[in-house]
A and B are shown apart, each in its own frame.
Chain A
Amino acid sequence: DAKTTQPNSMESNEEEPVHLPCNHSTISGTDYIHWYRQLPSQGPEYVIHGLTSNVNNRMASLAIAEDRKSSTLILHRATLRDAAVYYCIRYSGGGADGLTFGKGTHLIIQP
């Protein structure tokens, strides 16, 4: 049970913004939303995380809905190197809770 729902794949053009949606309608009040991405033949890498407020870092922005039942990862200007599988994950904290990875969204970037 991945606890989140994402589209299987999305396609975008290079140098355009990309909005990757994630549904987490059963999220609890203390669960964080984490995003990871996995480039071909590599291990996943952390992208961004948030709890209630929108978050920005050098890689992306995370917009969290007011009711926290959904969120959107925003890549402001996609490049070919952003082609990857993006995973949206609920994390409830604590030392013993491993992150549950679903199948993610396969992002295809067209030149």
Chain B
Amino acid sequence: NAGVTQTPKFQVLKTGQSMTLQCAQDMNHEYMSWYRQDPGMGLRLIHYSVGAGITDQGEVPNGYNVSRSTTEDFPLRLLSAAPSQTSVYFCASRQANTGELFFGEGSRLTVL
């Protein structure tokens, strides 16, 4: 059982470049979300989805886009990377109406 899989684990970008962080879960969870974690800080919610075709903004959505075409996948897109987006990104999933989130191992992004 793979759980929540994130790729890549590490990425270095130059300012202005675009990229997509991939997230996939094999638990048939309806809810998926993306968080970012900056040094010494807690996690902040970027975007979330309560099911295929439905997405919504979290606390810090600016500079990020998401889509949810399938139950399994929830990619996070950076259209024009900025140094302020240097962070560790975590994808998570859970069943609807339960609070137990399952997290991926994280993707460490550096924007130069």
Partner of B31, one of A41, A45, A95, A103: A95
Contact B96 A42 (CB under 8 A): no
**A34-B99, A94-B97, A96-B48 known; A2 and B105 CB under 8 Å?**
no
- Contact in complex: A98, B45 (CB < 8 Å): yes
Closest to A98 in B: B45
Binds A, one of B35-43, B64-72, B79-87: B35-43
Contact indicator A36/B50 (Cβ below 8 Å): no
Tell whether, in the assembled complex, residue A93 and residue B42 are in contact, meaning their CB atoms are under 8 Å apart: no
Q: Contact: A101 with B48, CB < 8 Å?
A: no
Please, which residue of chain B has its CB at the minimum distance from the CB of A46? B100
Q: Are A95 and B97 in contact (CB under 8 A)?
A: yes
Q: Is B26 an interface residue (CB 8 A)?
A: no
Interface SS, A side: loop
In the complex, the chain B residue whose C-beta lies closest to that of A32 is B99
B97 touches A43 (CB 8 A): no
Q: Closest approach, in angstroms, between the C-beta of B73 and any C-beta of chain A?
A: 18
Q: Is the CB of B97 within 8 A of A100?
A: no
Q: Tell me the A8-63 residues at the B interface (CB within 8 Å).
A: 32, 34, 36, 41-46, 49
A contact residues vs B (CB 8 Å cutoff): 2, 32, 34, 36, 41-46, 49, 87, 89, 91, 93-96, 98-104
A-B pairs with beta carbons under 8 Å apart, 8 shown: A43-B104, A46-B100, A49-B99, A87-B42, A93-B99, A98-B58, A101-B43, A104-B42
Given contacts A43-B92, A101-B35, A102-B42, 9 further A-B contacts (CB under 8 A): A34-B100, A43-B103, A43-B104, A44-B43, A46-B100, A46-B102, A98-B33, A100-B59, A104-B42
Among all A-B residue pairs, the 8 with the closest Cβ atoms: A43-B103, A101-B42, A91-B99, A101-B43, A95-B50, A98-B45, A46-B100, A95-B96
